[in-house]
Structure 1
Amino acid sequence: MIFSNLSSPFYILTIFIVLFSLVIHEFAHALVADWLGDKTPRRNGRLTLNPLAHLELLGIIMILFAPVGWARPVPINMSNFKRPRLSMILAVAAGPVANLILAMLAYIVIAVGNLSVTDWLTSILYRIAEVNVALFAFNIIPLPPLDGSQILRNLLPLKQAITYSRLDVYGPFIILFLFIIPYFNTWVFSPFVYWLNGLIGSLFV
């Protein structure tokens, strides 16, 4: 993945961008859940932009040294929603959508500012866009515990959703395996990220 390349001159900067983006991602979950009637994130201190509320040590270590990493999941109680399944989809989708918005905002600043491609600020903004597109793409993978799995689970009929839930135990191992083997990243994930990043960038720059 683009944020696991230790040889990159932007490596340290990229780590900070990833951590910032993860905080925004989790805050978006908490904010939308709160708007829709579930105060669980608020009661757990997650309705904040304080990184300490969202980041966890093991997830940060994995970001530094492994193909994947994570922040602390926001607790959401869907029984507090008036329309549980729809509201859960919206609250869960808020995280990846927030990353997509961050990527778009980075490209908008580049376009509006008419920045040179050699400018250091442009390089930072491009990296913000790349990281957030990658986070969006990663989180919509329909495997537990990623957001994509929660969205799919609540879109499926109840019987199929229960069957799909059996993946919960194996999902993290499947994800780790997919990113350890080179073919998934090289042939599937990275090409999709680069294509999506190029598509979004072409809309604004």
Structure 2
Amino acid sequence: MINPFTFYSQSPQTIAYAVLVGVVTVTLHSWILAALTWLAGDRGPRQDGRLTLSPTRAASPISLLSITFTQIGWIRPMQITPRALRGGAVSLLPLLLISLALLALFAQSLMHLRPLIAHTFPGAMPAYVTMALIDAFRRTVFWYVAFNLLPIPPFLMGHLWLWRGQPIWMKSAPIGRCIALIAFVTLVTVTVSYRANLIQIELALLR
């Protein structure tokens, strides 16, 4: 089964799992945040086409590559207008946190299906693959949520800078890509250098 920061030791099968659950993670989170923003009164994300389950709308190629290699990625910057939210700018932080909480809750709720699948289809290969994907999804969501709590771009909490107006890394696509590339290189470096310690952290926290 996939552990974070161990991409290079995995089989082709688990690499395929990593790609699939990574795409699902960022796509689902982007949709959740867009839906919450729309429900909170800001029509911007819907008009921008973010209220859709499209991986290319949800994340950049660098982010999709990062979540495949390291189980950590980020969504494309979402054009949220804090003043348009019900409750105003103070609603932005709860909105971001709730989107991550719902993603984590969904991943954890899927774990309750594993015993049912194992009991209903004992020894069946499709059942094994489904349970493996559920476990991989939970692990990916764990690290995705943890890193997206960092209040820096390109992670989700970087959207807090919207309190002071649209930040330059959202206005300028080249700057945004540069920041994403720096994040990707940093995460891969962490992958190679500290994966053993981080695996122990994950095992302790997910028990």
TM over 0.5: yes
* Mapped contact 1:22–1:71 kept (Cα < 8 A): yes
TM superposition shift of 1:175: 7.9
The answer to whether the aligner puts 1:89 opposite 2:98 as a matched pair is no
SS in 1 for 2:74: coil
Q: Provide the identity percentage.
A: 17
Name the structure 2 match of 1:134.
143
Instruction: Specify the code of the residue in structure 2 equivalent to 1:70.
Output: W
Deviations, residues 120-179 of structure 1 (Å, cap 9, x unaligned):
13222211211111211121133333224546x79xxx9xx9xxx9xx999864785466
Consecutive unaligned residues of structure 2, counting only runs of 5 or more, are: none
TM superposition shift of 1:63: 3.6
Change (3 A) 1:53 1:142: closer
TM superposition shift of 1:112: 4.6
Write the distance in 2 (CA, Å) between the matches of 1:124 and 1:140: 24
Change (3 A) 1:178 1:125: closer
TM-score by length of structure 1 reads 0.71
SS in 2 for 1:2: coil
Choose the corresponding residue for 1:49, options 34, 48, 53: 53
* Mapped contact 1:28–1:94 kept (Cα < 8 A): no
Change (3 A) 1:180 1:79: same
Q: Which has the higher contact order (CA 8 A, sep 6+)?
A: 2
Instruction: Specify the code of the residue in structure 2 equivalent to 1:108.
Output: H
Consecutive unaligned residues of structure 1, counting only runs of 5 or more, are: 199-205
* Mapped contact 1:67–1:180 kept (Cα < 8 A): no
Q: Give the count of matched residue pairs.
A: 189
SS in 1 for 2:112: helix
